[in-house]
Amino acid sequence: MSGTSRAIGAGARCGRGGIASAALLAVAAGAFLAGSAGVATAESLRQALESTYVTNQELEAQRASTRATDENVPQALSTGRPRLSGSGDVGYQRQETILNPPLVGSAGRVSPYGFSITATQPVFRGFRTLNSVKQADSIVRAAREALLNTEQNVLFSAAETYVNVVRDGSIVSLRANNVNVLTEQLRATRDRFTVGEVTRTDVAQAEARLSLAISTLNLARANLNSSRAVYDQVIGHPANGPVQPPSIELKLPRSLDEALLSADSEHPAIRTAIYSAEAADFGVDVTTGELLPTVSLDASFTKRWDPTVATKRTETAAITGRVTVPFYQGGEVSSRVRQAKEVRAQRRLELELVRRQVRAAVISAWGQLDATKAQIRSGQAQVRASEVALAGVREEAKVGQRTTLDVLDAEQELLDARVSLVSTRRDYVVASYALLSAVGRLSASKLGLNVAIYDPMVNYNKVRNKWFGLGPSDQN
């Protein structure tokens, strides 16, 4: 169930009348790089998601797992198909007969050899073949939904990783610019100290603040390198340069009620649980079928040469109808029937648990998105106020009404406000994708990515009625 939580994530609501997704995302994303010139590259978020969909190893592994699960269906169908086997043998036999006199014994040697062919056709297996096929189909459907759930998880991780690089690149730019400003301010403070306008304390304060700025810049660069490493892991290639602010348009629900309805009908984790419960139902029927009679038709043909000293060749052909009635199996089958019923009850309880988890996650995501929108507005107001305050403090410092420390503090407050706003805008974009994942709409097809959509039905149709062949089917 942890995969479900990771898929739906956290997000929130924006606006009383609904989610202003495209417009607000564009504003939030566009402001990521405010004040950080040079943060640009050819790769957009859409291209990063497309690359992830094509190259991500976790997603490829889940696709292979789904193809492996497809084989449950031909395996179930095979239980109703004929079995054909053959055998051959060759040997050496020496026979000697000694009789009481006056009778005369005999002796001889032969090299018998021959072959046999046996065919068995199940006619009735207590409905186990039919129910096994239905169970296998349900398991396959559950695997397809699990693949979609993995796709949601991977695409969400890619989006989160992408905006982490955007955020960290923007913070590096802000802090690098702050180092430049403080370097120039330290130079000016030293010049003023030389002419006696400020004290040695003012110079020391400027030096200390510059050292702190350099330290935080180095930390920001380390965070950016870490985010780029994760970018390479998730998206499949390095983020050699800065990335563009996200601009992909999201179709988010317009209300919480719509989000809950969408999640209940579309979320792949819920659909996986539904098909798993369905498979457990058929599992009870399959096991119960072992208590019913079985009917089979057996045919055999045997041909042997020199089976005895006196016989040159023999041929035997036989067709036999066989009915087997299981009267008592030591309680083993009855135990497995009870076990299957408990598994069925478990799957039904898990379905309700997943529904509750998804519902709770949608509500949480909706609220988180709404809160993040409010934080953006507050952050923007804080930046504007800090800019006005800094301008005023600088003017007052020119006429001696403010100290160097006052100017440094005002600059730090503005920097902190800008860094906080960058992080909040990152949180808003992540929350938007988290809500989209929570309602079950974060997939390559629903995002309209320009990629060849993987269709699990292609492999399923290839192998479902396959009677022969050892190699894997071509991947689509």
Full domain range(s) for residue 253: 2-77+127-169+215-293+342-463
Q: Name the strands in the sheet holding 83-90, side by side, starting at the edge strand that comes first in the sequence.
A: 83-90, 113-124, 294-308, 311-324
In sequence order, which residues have a C-beta less than 8 Å from that of residue 320 and are 6 or more positions away? 297, 298, 299, 300
Name the pairing type of β-strands 294-308 and 93-97. unpaired
Q: Is residue 71 a contact partner of residue 469, using CB atoms and an 8 Å limit?
A: no
| Distance between CA atoms of residues 438 and 267, nearest Å | 7
Residue 33 has pLDDT above 50, yes or no: no
The CATH number of whichever domain residue 440 belongs to comes to 1.20.1600.10
What tokens does 35 get?
């004040």
Q: Is residue 312 part of a domain?
A: no
For position 106, what pLDDT does the model report?
A: 61
Q: Which of 399, 397, 421, 418 is nearest to 408 (CA)?
A: 397
| Distance between CA atoms of residues 309 and 307, nearest Å | 7
Q: Indicate the SS3 state at residue 229.
A: helix
| Distance between CA atoms of residues 341 and 335, nearest Å | 10
Q: Is residue 102 part of a domain?
A: no
For position 54, what pLDDT does the model report?
A: 94
Type and span of the H or E element at 280: helix 268-288
At residue 104 the predicted structure's pLDDT band, cuts being 50, 70 and 90, is low
- Work out the number of other CB atoms within 10 angstroms of the CB of residue 90: 10
Q: Is residue 296 a contact partner of residue 322, using CB atoms and an 8 Å limit?
A: yes
For position 52, what pLDDT does the model report?
A: 94
Torsion-angle region of 35 (φ positive above 0: left; ψ -120 to 50: alpha; else: beta): left
Whose tokens are 């040695």? That residue is 200
For position 103, what pLDDT does the model report?
A: 64
Percent of the chain scoring above 90 in pLDDT: 68
Whose tokens are 């060849």? That residue is 452
CA 254 from chain center: how many Å?
Answer: 26
Q: How many residues does the chain have?
A: 476
pTM beyond 0.85, yes or no = no
pLDDT per position as a tens digit, 35-59:
333 344 447 889 899 999 999 999 9
Q: Is residue 111 part of a domain?
A: no
| Distance between CA atoms of residues 329 and 289, nearest Å | 13
Q: Please, what is the end-to-end C-alpha distance for the chain in angstroms?
A: 29
Backbone angles phi, psi at 32, to 5 degrees: -55, -40
Q: Is residue 244 a contact partner of residue 38, using CB atoms and an 8 Å limit?
A: no
Angle (CA) 133-289-131 rounded to 5° is: 15
For position 402, what pLDDT does the model report?
A: 87
Q: Is residue 93 part of a domain?
A: no
pLDDT per position as a tens digit, 329-380:
899 999 999 999 999 999 999 999 999 999 999 999 999 999 999 999 999 9
What tokens does 208 get?
């200390």
Q: Is residue 26 part of a domain?
A: yes
| Distance between CA atoms of residues 386 and 383, nearest Å | 5
What tokens does 66 get?
């789904």
Mean pLDDT for 202-213 is 92
| Burial of 142 from C-beta contacts in 10 A (0-12 / 13-18 / 19+) | buried
| Burial of 467 from C-beta contacts in 10 A (0-12 / 13-18 / 19+) | exposed
| Distance between CA atoms of residues 118 and 120, nearest Å | 7
At residue 98 the predicted structure's pLDDT band, cuts being 50, 70 and 90, is confident
Q: Indicate the SS3 state at residue 56.
A: coil
Q: Is residue 241 part of a domain?
A: yes
| Distance between CA atoms of residues 166 and 28, nearest Å | 12
Q: Is residue 210 a contact partner of residue 176, using CB atoms and an 8 Å limit?
A: no
At residue 22 the predicted structure's pLDDT band, cuts being 50, 70 and 90, is very low
Bridge-partner residues for 297, per DSSP?
121, 321
For position 2, what pLDDT does the model report?
A: 43
Q: Is residue 280 part of a domain?
A: yes
Rounded to the nearest integer, the mean pLDDT of the chain is 86
| Distance between CA atoms of residues 390 and 185, nearest Å | 14
In sequence order, which residues have a C-beta less than 8 Å from that of residue 347 and are 6 or more positions away? 273, 276, 277, 279, 280
What total of structural domains would you count in the chain?
Answer: 1
| Distance between CA atoms of residues 163 and 340, nearest Å | 46
For 117-135, give one letter per residue: b (16+ CB within 10 A) or e: eeeeebeebbebbbbbbbb
For 397-419, give one letter per residue: b (16+ CB within 10 A) or e: beeeebbbeebbbbbbbbbebbb
Residues 44, 46, 48, 54, CA torsion sign: negative
Residue 7 has pLDDT above 60, yes or no: no
| Distance between CA atoms of residues 261 and 85, nearest Å | 55
Torsion-angle region of 196 (φ positive above 0: left; ψ -120 to 50: alpha; else: beta): left
Residue 387 has pLDDT above 80, yes or no: yes
